[in-house]
Structure 1
Amino acid sequence: MSSEVLFTILVAAVGLERVAELVVSKRNAAWSLARGGVETGQGHYPVMVVLHTGLLIGALVEVWVWRPDVAPALAWTMLLLVLASQGLRWWCIATLGRRWNTRVIVVPGLPLVTGGPYRRVPHPNYVAVVVEGLALPLVHAAWLTALVFTLCNAALLRVRIRVEDRALRA
């Protein structure tokens, strides 16, 4: 099996993981809204969806069009980082429980979560996103996708984190 096919399987697996996240997110968002949750930051959400979809598509296009040579050490290191980012993401989801979703919804009266990865890092899920966004394309040396996603994601996270911090303080 070619390295491009193996990479496509990896990207498809990440895509399926994202679908699982969306299922959990939708259920949890409904739970939060039913308890008086207030959503903020809706304007940047479509940009986030396009950017994250673009990461997966861009990596596949770059790999299949340019067929870059891949150093095994780079591929294995980046694969380990992708797996670690998935672990961190699901640790965040498990720690937040019903409160986790892909939107910014705050349920009034619930205390701020300070356990799990939130004990050490204020926004650990975004650490997972940053690591995955850089590492996933680099599993197959898709440097352009890694660079473009990382720069666009940095701009998006500036907005997202401000919205989230403001909502949590309110």
Structure 2
Amino acid sequence: MMIMTKPILIMNGIILFYLIQRLSEVFISKTNEKWLYLHHHALEVDKKESAQMRVFHSLWFVSLILEANLKQELQQPLYALIIYCILGLCLIIRLHSMEKLKAFWTIKVLSLENPVISTSGLYQYVRHPNYFIVMIELLCIPLLFKAYWTMGIFSFINFFILARRIKAEESSLMKHSAYRIHFEEKKRFIPFIFMLCLAVLPLHAKEKVFQTPNYNEAKKNESFLKFQSTSTKLGLISTNFDGYAKDFKINYQLEQDHLKDLEVSVAVKSLDTDVGSRDDKMHNQIMDAEKYPELKASYTGPVALTEGTQTINMIFTIKDKKVSRPVTFTVSKKDSKILVNGSAKLGLQEMGLPDPSIMIAKVRDLFDIEFNVVLD
């Protein structure tokens, strides 16, 4: 027969507190879900993941209760005090997260037509503060009762579940330009922890570098990045001009037949129109290559590598300006290679770049971007 000593009462009281907290979160989430289904036409992204979460947390509580009551031990007072402080901070962050997301806080991962993006509080700095504190709680609560088996096994499993959940959630949210613009360069929570999560996913980092010595070689190369516009002299005679990037690279994550975390980086000084004076003005006066040596285009994804034509919204970063613009491209496959060619349009004014026109020649603001790359 178990004697209900004061430490055991404290231990089970703490477990009961967290059980009630979790149940209250389920109630809040269900209330929010009903509102989102009604007003935002929400759809659940991954029902299997939601079921896994329910089973996982239920088993965690069962394991914690059994192991803690079998051991009937608490940490030394000093260690316990430190853990209490950490858990108290976690509770504050959890409430902060719920307050910032308001009715958009849910346990399920939902896809919304027009989500309201929270960019205040901790969401100024990280994408998922709530997931971080869940990880800390899964470590610290069992640690408080020396339930080391529960702590180790369930924390390990949580990496798998969390990796899948973040993948599903960000795939849904990154479709919205407002989310991409604010969160694309934000950390998910703490970088090294997320790296551990990624370790369980079948992702393969790739980098393709494309370099040519001059304009003519870049023009003839199978993989190219081209830009073109029009110059009108005295308002009468219009001529087209083009240029190529002699040095650009593509970084991406390859997962089966999808690309993720796509980023195209172009060395500004490699932009070549085959006219020295024009290039010098472009590099130094227009693009300020010394201060901003690269321009980038990025898309978190995923991008399906199925044959056919697609359109995605990429984030273009030129100098310190970010703009979301549609990019249309076609994927085809030849042997073991993937061929991608497409186009986009960028305006100088929208990118905050000065007008390169001179008194006798007006340069069209809109530039056409064309590309063709071979991936493997």
TM-score by length of 1: 0.93
Find the partner of 1:88 among 86, 93, 118: 93
CA distance in 1, matches of 2:86, 2:46: 29
Alpha-carbon shift at residue 141 of structure 1 (Å): 1.4
CA distance in 1, matches of 2:43, 2:174: 13
* Higher alpha-carbon deviation: 127-136 or 114-123: 114-123
Give the conservation status (yes or no) of the 8 Å contact 1:74–1:138: no
Where do residues 68-107 of structure 1 align in structure 2 (5 Å cutoff)? 68=73, 70-107=75-112
Where do residues 44-123 of structure 1 align in structure 2 (5 Å cutoff)? 44-68=49-73, 70-123=75-128
Structure with greater proportional helix content: 1
Instruction: Give the structure 1 partner of residue 304 of structure 2.
Output: none
Structure 1 residues 15 and 97, CA, compared in 2 at 3 Å: closer, same or farther? same
Alpha-carbon shift at residue 70 of structure 1 (Å): 2.5
1:112-157 per-position Cα deviation (integer Å, ceiling 9, x unaligned): 2221221111111101100111011111111111111110111100
Find the partner of 2:16 among 8, 12, 16: 12
Find the partner of 1:164 among 169, 172, 181: 169
Alpha-carbon shift at residue 73 of structure 1 (Å): 2.1
Give the conservation status (yes or no) of the 8 Å contact 1:75–1:141: no
Give the letter for the 1:112 counterpart: I
1:72-101 per-position Cα deviation (integer Å, ceiling 9, x unaligned): 222221122222112111111110001111
Give the letter for the 2:127 counterpart: P
- How many residues align structurally? 170
CA distance in 2, matches of 1:134, 1:116: 25
SS of the aligned residue for 2:127 comes to coil
CA distance in 2, matches of 1:72, 1:144: 21
Alpha-carbon shift at residue 55 of structure 1 (Å): 2.1
Find the partner of 1:126 among 101, 123, 131: 131
Instruction: Give the structure 1 partner of residue 291 of structure 2.
Output: none
Find the partner of 2:37 among 4, 22, 33: 33
User: Is the aligned partner of 1:138 residue 2:133?
Assistant: no
Alpha-carbon shift at residue 50 of structure 1 (Å): 1.5
Rg: which structure is higher? 2
TM-score by length of 2: 0.44
Q: Percent identity?
A: 23
Structure with greater proportional strand content: 2
In structure 2, the gaps of 5 or more residues are 176-376
Give the conservation status (yes or no) of the 8 Å contact 2:7–2:74: no
Give the letter for the 2:147 counterpart: A
Instruction: Give the structure 2 partner of residue 24 of structure 1.
Output: 28
CA distance in 2, matches of 1:99, 1:23: 14
In structure 1, the gaps of 5 or more residues are none
Give the letter for the 1:26 counterpart: K
Relative contact order (C-alpha < 8 Å, sep 6+): which is higher?
Answer: 1
* Higher alpha-carbon deviation: 19-28 or 113-122: 113-122
* Higher alpha-carbon deviation: 89-98 or 110-119: 110-119
Alpha-carbon shift at residue 69 of structure 1 (Å): 5.5
| Moved beyond 6 Å, runs of 4+ | none
Structure 1 residues 80 and 54, CA, compared in 2 at 3 Å: closer, same or farther? farther
CA distance in 2, matches of 1:117, 1:106: 22
* Higher alpha-carbon deviation: 48-57 or 144-153: 48-57
* Higher alpha-carbon deviation: 82-91 or 122-131: 82-91
Give the letter for the 2:153 counterpart: V
CA distance in 1, matches of 2:88, 2:32: 24
